[in-house]
Structure 1
Amino acid sequence: MKKIYLLCVCSVFLMMSLSRAWAQKNKSPKFKVIVMAEMGDRHRPYVDAALAWLEGEAKTKNFTVDHIENAEKINDAFLSQYQLFIQLNYPPYMWSDSAKASFERYINEGRGGWIGFHHATLLGEFDGYAMWPWFHQFMGSIRFKNYIATFVSATANVEDKKHPVMKNIPAKFFIEKEEFYTYDASPRPNVHVLASVDESTYAPNSDVKMGDHPIVWTNTKVKARNVYIFMGHDPVLFNSKDYKTLFSNAIAWASQK
C-alpha cells in the first residue's frame, strides 16, 4: 500500500513538472525585438557576442529576437511586428528614404522602443552619404568629430540613478576598452543624460577629449522610449556585469510603451 501511495505521489509531481514545462514552452513571448547589426570586420566580434548574449536573454526573459544586416526590409509593415528596435552598431546612413520615413514614424509616434549603440552616433557625411537631419536631432544635434583610435579604459559616472535603465548600476562603473567618440558639441542641452565618462580617468591618457562627455542618454522629445549607449565596439564589454545589466535594463524599459 505504501509503495502504491509513493508511486501516486511521484506521478502527480511528475505530471505537475511536465505541465509547467509544457506551459513555459508554449507561453507566448512578451515582445519581439528586431536587431539591425553591422557585420563588417571591425565590429563583427562585438556583434557576434551581442547576438549570442541577446539569444540567452530572450530565452530567460521570454522575448524573441530577429536580426537584419541592413535597412532594406524596413517599412511600416515590417516594423509593426516589433515592439523594440535595437540599432546594434549600425550607422545612421545607408538607409533608403522610405526606410528613414518609416523609422521616423516608428519613433515619433511611439510605435515601438529603440536602443542604439556606438556607431549610431556616427553623424556627418560618410561614404558619400549626406547626414540624416532627423537622426541628427534625435541624437541631440551632434556631429561626429574624432575618436580614440588606440582605445582606452575609463570610469563612467551615473547621472540619473533613479532612471530604470540605470537600475543596479553603481554610481561609478568601469569601461575596460573603448574608442570614445567626441562630437562638435555635447548633446546635453537636447537630451536627458543618464551617464557620462570621466575623461580624467582615461588609461592610457588621450588628447582626444571633449570636456562634458555624455555616453548614455535618452531623447524625451519623441514618443518612443529610447536610449543611446555609446559603448559597443569590443566583445570584452560582455565580461562586465555592469554593461550586461545596462543592456538588460534598456531592453526591459524601452520595450514597454
Structure 2
Amino acid sequence: GAVSAAVAEPSEATMLDCPLRDAPWSVETPLMDVLLSPRASAIVNRHMGGVLEKLPPQFASAEAPSFSAILDLKALAGMAGLSPDVLAALDAELAKLELTDVERTARCKRYDDELPDLTLPAGTPRLLLFQKITGFLDEPSVAAATTTLYELADAHGWSLVETDRAGVMTPESLARFDAVIWNNTSGDVLTLSQRAAFRQYIEAGGGFVGIHGAGGDPVYFWDWYVDTLLGARFIGHSSDPQFQDAKIVVEQSSTRIAQDLAPGWTLHEEWYSFANSPRESGATVIATLDEGSYSLVGRGGQDLRMGDHPIVWTRCVGQGRSFYSAIGHRPQVYADERHRSLLKDGVLWAAGGACADTQ
C-alpha cells in the first residue's frame, strides 16, 4: 500500500495532545514549528543571518513529511557553523515569545488520532506494519520493505496489516498485535496518549521491530524511544561514498537471530553510525560492521568511527522485545536473501512474547 503523505485533520474540535504543543519557544524547537510561525521565523532570521531564506527545499517545507520535522534550531546552527553566543542570544529572545493557540494548533497538525479500521488476516504472529512518516520520507525504501514483509508474511503464514495512522496506538488496538514494525519511520509521530499506549504495550510484553530509518533521525523529541527502546542515537551515515560495500560480522547470540548467516557477509548499503554502542546499555548485539571494510567519512568530513560498531541488536524493554536493524536504505538490499532471512528472524524474535535477557 502507498504511504499517504497527507496529514489527517484532528477528528475533534479539541486540540490533540501532541508532545511539544505547549513547549516554550527555544533553540530546541523543531525547525518545522518555527517555519509555521512568522513571529518565530523573524527572530530566527534576525539572529541567524536570514538562514530560513537560504534553506534547501527539503529543509524549507513546513508541511510533513519534511526534514524540518527532524531538525531543531540547535542542529541547524551547528550545520551553519554559528557560535554558541549567537545560539544563546537567540534562545533568550525566543523564550520571551508567548505561544498562541494558532501556533499550538499548527504544531499539532502533523499528528493524528484517526483509528484505522484494520482487518487482520488469519495467521501468526499478528503484526502491525506502522509507517507514519513526518520527517524524511524515502518512498523506495518504505515500498521495498513493505513488499518484502508481505512476501515473508505470505511465505511463513504471518498475519500482517499496515497503517500510516497513529490513531492505531491505543491499548485496545495494540492488544491485537504480537509486534509492531516501524518501517523506515522518521519524525515525531505519536501524541502523548499514543506514546503512553505504545510504551505500556511494549513494557507489558509487546514486540518492536525498527527498520533502518526508524533509528536514523538526527534529532529526536521522544527520549524513551531513542534511548530506551532503541538504545543508540544516530550521528550520521556514510557519505564518501554514501553507498558502499561493508562487511557485516554476525555475533553468536542466544537469540538465534541470523545464526545461520555467520560469520557474516558483504553488503552494498548506506551505513549508520551512532553516538554510543547499544552494547554499553545492555543490548544483545546480533551483528557489527567491520570498520576496516569501508570508508567511515560522513557529511562534511565527519568521522563516523565507533570502534565497536553494532548495526543489528535486540534488547528487553520491561517485558517487551525490541529488535532494531540499521540495514535497509537501498531498495536492492531487500532482495538480498541474507537480509531477508535476518528480517524474518528479527520479526519472529520480536513477536515471541515476554522477554528475558537470556533470550
TM-score bracket for this pair, using the shorter chain length? 0.7 to 0.9
1:138 is aligned, of 229, 238, 241, to: 229
TM-score using structure 1 length: 0.78
1:222 is aligned, of 315, 318, 326, to: 318
Q: 1:186 to 1:175 in 2, by over 3 A?
A: same
TM-score using structure 2 length: 0.57
| Offset of residue 225 of structure 1 | 2.3
Using CA pairs under 8 Å that are at least 6 residues apart, name the structure with larger relative contact order, 1 or 2.
Answer: 1
Q: Could you tell me which residue of structure 2 aligns to residue 238 of structure 1? A: 334
Whole-Å separation in 1 of the counterparts to 2:224 and 2:254: 31
Number of equivalent positions: 224
Whole-Å separation in 2 of the counterparts to 1:50 and 1:121: 15
Letter in 1 for 2:351: S
Q: Could you tell me which residue of structure 1 aligns to residue 259 of structure 2? A: 167
CA RMSD of aligned residues (A): 2.3
| Offset of residue 171 of structure 1 | 0.9
Whole-Å separation in 1 of the counterparts to 2:352 and 2:276: 31
Q: Could you tell me which residue of structure 1 aligns to residue 143 of structure 2? A: 48
Percent of paired sites with the same residue: 25
Of Structure 1 and Structure 2, which has the larger fraction of its residues in strand?
1
Q: Could you tell me which residue of structure 2 aligns to residue 10 of structure 1? A: none
Whole-Å separation in 2 of the counterparts to 1:183 and 1:205: 12
Q: Could you tell me which residue of structure 2 aligns to residue 18 of structure 1? A: none
| Offset of residue 192 of structure 1 | 1.5
Question: Which segment is superposed worse, 53-62 or 38-47?
Answer: 38-47
Q: 1:66 to 1:153 in 2, by over 3 A?
A: same
Q: Could you tell me which residue of structure 1 aligns to residue 289 of structure 2? A: 197
Whole-Å separation in 2 of the counterparts to 1:100 and 1:87: 14
1:120 is aligned, of 214, 217, 220, to: 214
SS of the residue corresponding to residue 87 of structure 1 reads strand
Unaligned runs of 5+ in 1: 1-26
Conserved? CA contact 1:38–1:47, under 8 Å: no
Whole-Å separation in 1 of the counterparts to 2:218 and 2:332: 28
Q: 1:49 to 1:123 in 2, by over 3 A?
A: closer
Whole-Å separation in 2 of the counterparts to 1:171 and 1:83: 30
Whole-Å separation in 2 of the counterparts to 1:248 and 1:134: 23
SS of the residue corresponding to residue 261 of structure 2 reads coil
Whole-Å separation in 1 of the counterparts to 2:145 and 2:212: 13
SS of the residue corresponding to residue 250 of structure 1 reads helix
| Offset of residue 92 of structure 1 | 6.3
| Offset of residue 196 of structure 1 | 0.6
Deviations 1:163-219 (A, max 9, x none): 3212321212122112x22222222111121111111101x5634322211111111
Conserved? CA contact 1:217–1:229, under 8 Å: yes
Q: Is the aligned partner of 1:151 residue 2:243?
A: yes
Larger Rg: 1
The 5 Å alignment of 1:11-22 reads none
Whole-Å separation in 2 of the counterparts to 1:237 and 1:217: 18
Letter in 1 for 2:331: P
